[in-house]
Amino acid sequence: MLKKFLLSTLAALTWNVGSVMAQDNAGTWVSLFDGQSLKGWKAGEHPASFQAKAGQIVCAGPRAHLFYVGDGQADFKNFELKADVLARPGANSGIFFHTAFQAADWPEQGFEVQINNSQPRQGNYLELKKTGSLYGVRNQYKAVVHDNEWFQLRMTVRGNQVLIWVNEMLLVDYVEPAEAVPPAKGRYRRLSHGTFALQCHDEESEVYFKNVMVKRLPDDARNNVLPPVVDDTYRQIAGLQDANFPVVNSHVHLKGGLTLEQALDGSRKTGIGYGIAVNCGLKFSVTNDAGIEAYLQSMKGQPAYVAMQAEGREWTHMFSREAIAKFDYVFTDSMTFSDDDGRRMRLWIKEEVEVKDKQKFMDTLVRRAVAILNEEPIDIYVNPTFLPDVIAGEYDALWTEERMGKVIAAAVANGVAIEINARYRLPSPKFIKLAKQAGAKFSFGTNNTDNNVGDIGYCLAMVKECGLTWEDMFVPKPAGQKPAQVKPAKP
């Protein structure tokens, strides 16, 4: 590691010479590609993976990286870069910056701005970082552009800040901390300077680039942004992002005046992806398919997941399966149910709750939860194991291993993920460990009730305590495989 450090320091000293000369054309857009040839570019390995054709750089073939070498001035510290990109289905690619020519393998230096709208699982690995991610540092979880369509990727590096836009929508606002945060996998990512590279990831990945333009910014350019405070939470999140772990708060509501833009701004600042959920059901804001359509329109193309929170038990009859399947995912809880006497209770409302016999109440609650998991077309079971105030203090005694086992088995059998809820600090670590053992998937949720999204502290604590990895986490199912499309209707 130390050796690598010394080498990159040496390289940095050498590059500075070019950097000073290149200040001349600061502030103007310069094309890095002449439209006809790869003059000024150099491939590390498999040069045939890159072709200049009809004004485009075509990347197709075995793994290779095409480095911009220019005419000896290919060193950039602060800059703005933009390129039009088209990816074929399943492709993985990217644009590196602050990197250096390398004869083979994945570039060791610099950062990658990711291109990936739909790459499928490769063996045991599923890449969760989508187009516009600052790879492993600030990951974008929802694909915001489609395959086979041109989109613009634009990025600026100015001092300690990296901004990334896709089609002029800001996805990443990364401010580098003052101290290097130890990486999970042995590689420090620090902003420095260097050149650009285009990636040909593998033989299944076909990607096209055109209008590759750069604008130098002065070496001393910087934004007036303070570096983030590096505490244990920051370090843990950074480590998870580096390890392909989907750090997503899947249960955010635009409540208490919280606007979408405020939510997205918060998401960009923390690096935590959001799933924005609308409450759908009897006496809620959305009560029919038209309401779903209107909501989806308002969220169209946004860089956050769009989720349906299904309310009450009547919801399955209120919306068509076609409308439900348009959400990225659907979740519900068992906080509203009718007991065997037909008494409808919302468990969080004291006046509605009646617990005559605790054991009987628990058995009914477990039966209702299992029925929901078996019958309703949902992706995630949220606020799991929630108990009304009057018995919440007896959680550990009432949630016996047998009762937990029934809920977990139904979740696993139906492919329904279990939310780790930060607001209620549920379920218990014991439940999570049992569920992980049984092969359940998990999501994070704060379930905010006002304009404060809340923190995922409990979720992060459970990741540590229960040893969760990216493979334990929920990922929205692709179109065609959603529960609303494959789960048989309730009898």
Q: Minimum distance from CB of 434 to Zn ion (Å)?
A: 24
Stretch binding Zn ion (CB under 5 A), from 23-31, 320-328, 394-402, 447-455: 447-455
Q: Minimum distance from CB of 459 to Zn ion (Å)?
A: 15
Q: Minimum distance from CB of 285 to Zn ion (Å)?
A: 12
Q: Measuring CA to CA, which residue among 337, 331, 200, 225 is closest to residue 278?
A: 331
Stretch binding Zn ion (CB under 5 A), from 39-47, 65-73, 409-417, 444-452: 444-452
Q: Which is nearer to Zn ion, 114 or 309 (CB)?
A: 309
Q: Which is nearer to Zn ion, 92 or 447 (CB)?
A: 447
- Sign of CA pseudo-dihedral 222, 2, 98, 76: positive
**Are residues 337 and 361 in contact, defined by beta-carbon separation less than 8 angstroms?**
no
Stretch binding Zn ion (CB under 5 A), from 17-25, 98-106, 163-171, 441-449: 441-449
Q: Minimum distance from CB of 246 to Zn ion (Å)?
A: 19
- Sign of CA pseudo-dihedral 11, 13, 18, 24: positive
**Are residues 150 and 140 in contact, defined by beta-carbon separation less than 8 angstroms?**
no
Q: Which is nearer to Zn ion, 19 or 309 (CB)?
A: 309
Q: Please, which of residues 283-342 interact with Zn ion by CB under 5 A?
A: 309
Q: For Zn ion, how many residues bind (rule: CB under 5 A)?
A: 2
Stretch binding Zn ion (CB under 5 A), from 29-37, 155-163, 428-436, 439-447: 439-447
Burial (Cβ within 10 Å: 0-12, 13-18, ≥19) of residue 355 = middle
Q: Minimum distance from CB of 335 to Zn ion (Å)?
A: 10
448 binds Zn ion (CB under 5 A): no
**Are residues 207 and 114 in contact, defined by beta-carbon separation less than 8 angstroms?**
no
- Sign of CA pseudo-dihedral 122, 124, 129, 134: negative
**Are residues 92 and 201 in contact, defined by beta-carbon separation less than 8 angstroms?**
yes
Q: Minimum distance from CB of 308 to Zn ion (Å)?
A: 11
116 binds Zn ion (CB under 5 A): no
Q: Minimum distance from CB of 102 to Zn ion (Å)?
A: 47
Q: Which is nearer to Zn ion, 77 or 251 (CB)?
A: 251
Burial (Cβ within 10 Å: 0-12, 13-18, ≥19) of residue 149 = exposed
13 Cβ contact list (under 8 Å, min separation 6): none
Q: Which is nearer to Zn ion, 159 or 281 (CB)?
A: 281
Q: Which is nearer to Zn ion, 210 or 346 (CB)?
A: 346
447 binds Zn ion (CB under 5 A): yes
Q: Which is nearer to Zn ion, 116 or 448 (CB)?
A: 448
Q: Minimum distance from CB of 257 to Zn ion (Å)?
A: 17
Stretch binding Zn ion (CB under 5 A), from 43-51, 107-115, 292-300, 443-451: 443-451
Give the x-and-dash track for 339-368 against Zn ion (CB under 5 A): ------------------------------
Q: Which is nearer to Zn ion, 113 or 263 (CB)?
A: 263
Burial (Cβ within 10 Å: 0-12, 13-18, ≥19) of residue 275 = buried
Q: Which is nearer to Zn ion, 47 or 454 (CB)?
A: 454
Q: Minimum distance from CB of 272 to Zn ion (Å)?
A: 17
Stretch binding Zn ion (CB under 5 A), from 196-204, 348-356, 428-436, 442-450: 442-450
Q: In what order do the strands lie in the sheet with 111-116?
A: 41-43, 64-68, 195-200, 92-99, 111-116
| Length of the chain (residues) | 491
Q: Please, which of residues 386-415 interact with Zn ion by CB under 5 A?
A: none
How far is residue 286's CA from residue 215's CA, in Å, rounded to a whole number?
47
The DSSP symbol for 183 reads P
Q: Which is nearer to Zn ion, 151 or 424 (CB)?
A: 424
Q: Which is nearer to Zn ion, 385 or 447 (CB)?
A: 447
Question: Cα dist. 112→109, 159, 186 in Å?
Answer: 9, 17, 17
Q: Minimum distance from CB of 337 to Zn ion (Å)?
A: 16
Q: Which is nearer to Zn ion, 145 or 387 (CB)?
A: 387
Q: Minimum distance from CB of 251 to Zn ion (Å)?
A: 6
Task: Tell me which H or E stretch contains 64.
Answer: strand 64-68
Minimal CB distance residue for Zn ion: 447
Burial (Cβ within 10 Å: 0-12, 13-18, ≥19) of residue 438 = middle
Could you give phi then psi for residue 185, rounded to 5 degrees? Answer: -115, 30
**Are residues 414 and 439 in contact, defined by beta-carbon separation less than 8 angstroms?**
no
How far is residue 218's CA from residue 208's CA, in Å, rounded to a whole number?
30
Q: Minimum distance from CB of 332 to Zn ion (Å)?
A: 10
Query: By the criterion CB under 5 A, which residues form the site for Zn ion?
Result: 309, 447
